[in-house]
Structure 1
Amino acid sequence: MTAAIYIAAAIAEIAGCFAFWTVLRQGAPAIWLIGGLACLVLFAWLLTLVEVEAAGRAYAAYGGVYVAASLGWLWAVEGVRPDRWDVAGSAICVIGASVVLFGPRG
């Protein structure tokens, strides 16, 4: 369930940020900002659903998923295929996120 929440949160955050990017950098209509804000609210709410004892740990682990999802967005939405360095960096981030989230405690 945690992975699904992180993936959904990443899509919501990226979509929300992309709405702002598109308005401010590419001249899209300002109405896009309403959808962008809604996506960012959804993102924040989704992160509260992760079953960890500390918010900081949830956010740290989410970072790796965000990097991977951002590269998926790069390819699927922006039409730019990630190169081997993108893939390698993303793999390192996901491994790091897994250590933060699933490492033994206590």
Structure 2
Amino acid sequence: MLVARSVALFVVAALFEIGGAWLVWQGVREHKGWVWIGAGVVALGLYGFVATLQPDAHFGRILAAYGGIFVAGSLAWGMVADGYRPDRFDVIGALVCLVGMALIMYAPRGR
């Protein structure tokens, strides 16, 4: 159950971080204005809060593992929001990152 909760929190964090960065990008690069930028800043702040809810207490481990989610999530966001089509190297790289995330977070440790 802890793994399922942790994965769910990673997904929520990714939605806030990637979505927030995308909103800022849209506000600045696509000239959509300050409302988009402000919404992005709020979403990025919520991402920081969600990360604190992970069951593991080690900041470095959480952020390092989250990197794998961020890579895969960013490619998925680009596909949905911008019509980006990842090539096989994007997909392989994202899978490697997700394996790394799983090792960092969920490998059995003798504590």
Residue 23 (structure 1) aligns with: 27
* CA distance in structure 2 between the partners assigned to 1:53 and 1:12 by the alignment: 21
Alignment correspondent of 1:80: 84
The C-alpha deviation readout for 1:61-80, integer Å capped at 9, x for no partner, is 11101111101101000111
Written as runs of structure 1 = structure 2, the 5 A alignment for 1:11-90 is: 11-90=15-94
After superposition, give the CA deviation of every residue in 1:5-43 in whole Å (9 maximum; x if it has no partner): 001100110111111111221111111122111101110
Task: Tell me the TM-score normalised to structure 1 length.
Answer: 0.94
Deviation of the 1:105 alpha carbon: 2.2
Alignment RMSD, CA only?
1.0
Which structure 2 residue ranges, 5 or more long, are not aligned? Answer: none
8 Å contact kept, 2:26–2:32: yes
Separation in 2 of the partners of 1:53 and 1:103?
Answer: 15
Q: TM-score, normalised by structure 2?
A: 0.90
Task: Quote how far apart the aligned CAs of 1:53 are.
Answer: 2.5
Q: Distance in 2 between matches of 1:47 and 1:53?
A: 10
The list of structure 1 runs, each at least 4 consecutive aligned residues, that deviate by more than 3 angstroms after superposition, is none
**Unaligned stretches of 5+ in structure 1?**
none
State the percentage of identical aligned residues: 37
What does residue 97 of structure 2 align with?
93
